[in-house]
A and B are shown apart, each in its own frame.
Chain A
Amino acid sequence: MNLALSDEQEFLREAARGALSRYKTLEAARAALDRPSAPVTGLPDLWPTACEAGWPGLLIDEAKGGAGLDVFDAMLVLGECGRVLAGVGLLGHLPASAILNDSPAAAAWIGEVASGARRAAYLPAQPPSDVRDSWSADPAHGSAHAQLPSATPGDEQGMVTLNGSVAFVPDAPGASGMIGVALLDGRPVGVAVLSESPGVTVEPLVRYDATRSLGHVSFKDSPAVLLDAPEESLIAAWYIAQALIAAESLGSVETALQTTVAYAKERYTFGRAIGSYQAVKHSLTEVLRQLENGRSLLYYAGWARKGAPQEFALAASAARSVAGHALDTAARTMISVHGGIGATWEHDAPLYFRRAQLSRRLLGGTSGATDRVAGELLGQAQAA
């Protein structure tokens, strides 16, 4: 039994914190909000930093040019990104890289994905659940699940033709290619498509949080590589994305809590620091409680990926659910404890609030992950 970070993991995290501290990500995020048209301009390009640090290859085997690390290691890096609201491109890239790592068909070019020479974006595809038989994607509008793109056999061996669309794809604008799941004769298959291929359109979007790169992606008779990753890998990619956004969210919670606690110690009313009042103290301990629960679930998800793969769906979804709620709570508490100043444009609190608002609605949403937790447990209970 040992849940402590290894020396290598401590180093990975410290190195990430150091590398990201060279950029004024929060100032850039605020400035970008004044230029609301997509794609967002003026944010620092952090991809070269990511490549230098080896982050694009975190989940790719060493023999294929990657670092051969685990999802938990990737979560440590995402946590650091979340602390400073850094948009690096890893949320889209890493789940995509995990599918490629399990696809011998990608052997010829996986090295470029591992080095970061090619940046990939994951097309979010939600696996079937205890109450829904089919794969699905997030809708462009409303709350009904959307269909995955369809694939038909292509002219060449190992190629397919894609038609359809995927909404709100993280980190799609500017990515060299997209990797995800399509339905071939109703069967889920892994696909990889270059952004420059015919019929591929990426519509960049800004939704409330300028630090989050997003795009609607559509395919019209677009040629794509048919990947031979097994279905388990396609399923795992969804939960890797859940675990990563959970880790990123908790990183944001850490900063929000630190900043708010510091203010509660220095701001006085009626002759006392506001942090001495129970009402304020208890709301801050509530943020801490949710943060600590979320941290415990990051360990669960990180361990389950290899240690108990049959529990990874449950663990990653639970982490996402708790982390999403924690970020909501932390961002609202940050604003209210700061009083009126917390709701002003110049303050950092609104940036964390914007992050919370958008994050809870991406990648199936926080409530989608919560529903998945229930589904996994109800399934287990019925099987027992």
Chain B
Amino acid sequence: MDLDDTPEQAEYRAQVREWLERHKAQAPVLQGEGALQDEQEIIAARRAWQGKLAEGGLAGVTWPKEFGGQGRGPIEQVICNQEIARAHVPGILDAIGVGMLGPTIIAHGSDEQKSRYLGPMLHGDEVWCQLFSEPAAGSDLAAVQTRARHQDDGSWLLSGQKVWTTNAQFASYGLLLARTDPDAHKHKGLTMFIVPMDAPGVTVRGLRQISGEAEFNEVFFDDVQIEDGAVVGGVGGGWGTALTTLMFERVTIGLGGEGLGFNSIRFARAIAGDEHARRDPEVRQRLGEIASELLAVRFTGYRTLTALQRGQIPGPEAGLAKVTIVNGAIRAGDLIADVQGPDALATDSEWAYMISFLPGLKSAGGTEEILRNTIGERVLGLPPEPRLDKGIPFSELRSKEGAAA
């Protein structure tokens, strides 16, 4: 058991560090003195920086070489992330594209799709977004209702609405899950498409959150015409393709670990300066409990990496880490605000932002309740709840739901 680099990993780390040392002056400044303010400028600068990282081999570390990647393993990806953080420079802008959507196209896309889309995605020339969730299909993703109808000329006509779409306001393409056969069972009648975000009929609208900021978008499709070659993974194969994306999403989160900044020492710093709070047994119990669980997540990340490195699928600890991080951070926000008083909720407080951001994060990537169901069933082997949606065409499901209500 050790956390040290092997000689090969140490050599790779040195290479990455040396590259960053030589190029970090070109990285965009996002915080502190001289930080970029204009959103358009920030996006442009981060795209250019992603291009630099890709040229240097610091983007797409785990992508196969034939698609411009480095063909390396998850450990090297983590080493690369660690060195980027250490150099205090931004990482790639399109983490969703490069981390989840690109690998999905590599797994399921046609040769034409791979040669057309992967290069510009990796270099940040074309940013991507993930068009999966809908107002009535989140945790139950296979319930999507966005409809794609095959036209006589072979093209598809798309109509419906997506939501919680990060980066849609400046994305060039989206990977979209649509229903192509409502008479098939819910998981069978789905197809995955590549959608150009500048196609006529696509409308992107910012979705303001509790915090006041718009981290996500709503995306509307009104009879958007897309070509037949835009299908990824075959007509009717959308669910299998989506599962691949979701698997890469879990891996990305697993390797991200404390990347959200919810770590125990940061929370301790918010309290340490208050001499009374620092000695208060109740404050200490609360901090100690929160911190212990967040410390566990760091080592859960290492366990996940160990499994990946040995070619194993990460265990349940990877999925449960998200529950631990979010709930730990929620309790930390409460504790810090209890200690600091209403000032913690002032407009410019970092804690006010965190406190606002967290309730929604509980449902991100699937609600906590669904995650607990899935883990209870897949890991502990507990029997599933009875379901109404098995073995019937999707088109009949709505009336059945109505009758049950």
Smallest Cβ distance from A321 to chain B, in angstroms? Answer: 4
Most buried by B among A3, A6, A284, A285: A285
- Inter-chain CA distance A202–B381, complex, in Å, is 48
Chain B interface category by residue count:
35 or more
Please, which residues of chain A bring their CB within 8 A of the CB of B315? 292
Please, which residues of chain B bring their CB within 8 A of the CB of A1? 2-5, 9, 75, 78, 302, 305-306, 309
B385 within 8 A of A: yes
- Residues from 255 to 291 in B contacting A, C-beta threshold 8 Å: 264-265, 268-269, 271-273, 278-279, 281, 283-285, 287-289, 291
Check A370/B288 contact, CB under 8 A, given A4-B310, A378-B272, A381-B272.
yes
Please tell me if the beta carbons of A275 and B299 are within 8 angstroms of each other in the complex: no
- Inter-chain CA distance A250–B309, complex, in Å, is 26
Smallest Cβ distance from A201 to chain B, in angstroms? Answer: 33
A145 within 8 A of B: no
A218 within 8 A of B: no
Please, which residues of chain A bring their CB within 8 A of the CB of B273? 382
Most buried by B among A1, A300, A381: A1
B137 within 8 A of A: no
Please, which residues of chain B bring their CB within 8 A of the CB of A371? 281, 284-285, 288
Please tell me if the beta carbons of B382 and A307 are within 8 angstroms of each other in the complex: no
Check A377/B289 contact, CB under 8 A, given A6-B1, A292-B300.
no
Please tell me if the beta carbons of A285 and B284 are within 8 angstroms of each other in the complex: no
Please, which residues of chain B bring their CB within 8 A of the CB of A187? none
Please, which residues of chain A bring their CB within 8 A of the CB of B298? 296, 300
- Inter-chain CA distance A282–B305, complex, in Å, is 26
Smallest Cβ distance from B111 to chain A, in angstroms? Answer: 35
Please, which residues of chain A bring their CB within 8 A of the CB of B306? 1-4
Write the A268-303 contact mask toward B (1 if CB under 8 angstroms, else 0): 000011011110111011101100111111011011
- Inter-chain CA distance A317–B369, complex, in Å, is 30
Contact of A375 among B284, B305, B324 (CB under 8 A): B284
- In the complex, the chain B residue whose C-beta lies closest to that of A257 is B380
Contact of A373 among B4, B281, B291 (CB under 8 A): B291
- In the complex, the chain A residue whose C-beta lies closest to that of B327 is A289
Chain A: residues with Cβ within 8 Å of the partner, total of 58
Please tell me if the beta carbons of B376 and A292 are within 8 angstroms of each other in the complex: no
A72 within 8 A of B: yes
Most buried by A among B273, B302, B305: B302
Smallest Cβ distance from B290 to chain A, in angstroms? Answer: 9
- Inter-chain CA distance A22–B271, complex, in Å, is 51
- In the complex, the chain A residue whose C-beta lies closest to that of B295 is A318
Most buried by A among B291, B372, B376: B376
Please, which residues of chain B bring their CB within 8 A of the CB of A277? 385
Contact of B269 among A6, A318, A381 (CB under 8 A): A381
Contact of B302 among A272, A286, A299, A378 (CB under 8 A): A299
Please, which residues of chain B bring their CB within 8 A of the CB of A374? 268, 283-285, 287-288, 291
Please, which residues of chain A bring their CB within 8 A of the CB of B384? 276
Check A302/B376 contact, CB under 8 A, given A285-B320, A296-B299, A296-B303.
no
A264 within 8 A of B: yes
Smallest Cβ distance from B399 to chain A, in angstroms? Answer: 25
Please, which residues of chain A bring their CB within 8 A of the CB of B295? 297, 300, 314-315, 318, 373
- Inter-chain CA distance A109–B355, complex, in Å, is 59
**Chain A interface mostly:** helix
Please tell me if the beta carbons of B376 and A370 are within 8 angstroms of each other in the complex: no
- Inter-chain CA distance A81–B381, complex, in Å, is 26
Check A318/B291 contact, CB under 8 A, given A265-B382, A285-B375.
yes
Please tell me if the beta carbons of B289 and A381 are within 8 angstroms of each other in the complex: no
- Inter-chain CA distance A322–B324, complex, in Å, is 12
Please, which residues of chain A bring their CB within 8 A of the CB of B361? none
Please tell me if the beta carbons of B372 and A276 are within 8 angstroms of each other in the complex: no
Please tell me if the beta carbons of B324 and A377 are within 8 angstroms of each other in the complex: no
Please tell me if the beta carbons of B369 and A282 are within 8 angstroms of each other in the complex: yes
Please tell me if the beta carbons of B269 and A384 are within 8 angstroms of each other in the complex: yes
Please, which residues of chain A bring their CB within 8 A of the CB of B5? 1
- In the complex, the chain B residue whose C-beta lies closest to that of A315 is B295
Write the B305-316 contact mask toward A (1 if CB under 8 angstroms, else 0): 110011000011
Please tell me if the beta carbons of B305 and A299 are within 8 angstroms of each other in the complex: no
Please tell me if the beta carbons of A3 and B264 are within 8 angstroms of each other in the complex: no
A261 within 8 A of B: yes
Check A293/B293 contact, CB under 8 A, given A261-B382, A302-B1.
yes
Please tell me if the beta carbons of B382 and A281 are within 8 angstroms of each other in the complex: yes
Please tell me if the beta carbons of A322 and B293 are within 8 angstroms of each other in the complex: yes
Please tell me if the beta carbons of A276 and B385 are within 8 angstroms of each other in the complex: yes
Please tell me if the beta carbons of B309 and A278 are within 8 angstroms of each other in the complex: no
- Inter-chain CA distance A299–B288, complex, in Å, is 19
Write the A349-384 contact mask toward B (1 if CB under 8 angstroms, else 0): 000000000000000000101111111011011101
B292 within 8 A of A: yes
Contact of B292 among A261, A282, A295, A322 (CB under 8 A): A322
Most buried by A among B296, B316, B369: B296
- In the complex, the chain A residue whose C-beta lies closest to that of B385 is A276
Please tell me if the beta carbons of A377 and B381 are within 8 angstroms of each other in the complex: no
Can you spell out 13 A-B residue pairs with CB atoms less than 8 angstroms apart? A265-B381, A276-B383, A289-B324, A292-B315, A293-B324, A294-B296, A307-B2, A315-B295, A318-B292, A322-B292, A374-B291, A377-B287, A378-B278
Residues of B within 8 A of A (CB): 1-5, 9, 75, 78, 264-265, 268-269, 271-273, 278-279, 281, 283-285, 287-289, 291-293, 295-300, 302-303, 305-306, 309-310, 315-317, 320, 323-324, 369, 372-373, 375-377, 379-386
Inter-chain pairs besides A1-B2, A373-B288, A378-B284, 10 sampled, C-beta below 8 Å: A130-B278, A281-B376, A284-B380, A293-B297, A318-B295, A321-B288, A322-B296, A374-B268, A374-B291, A378-B287
Leading 10 A-B pairs by shortest Cβ distance: A370-B288, A381-B272, A293-B296, A281-B376, A275-B382, A296-B299, A377-B268, A374-B288, A374-B284, A318-B292
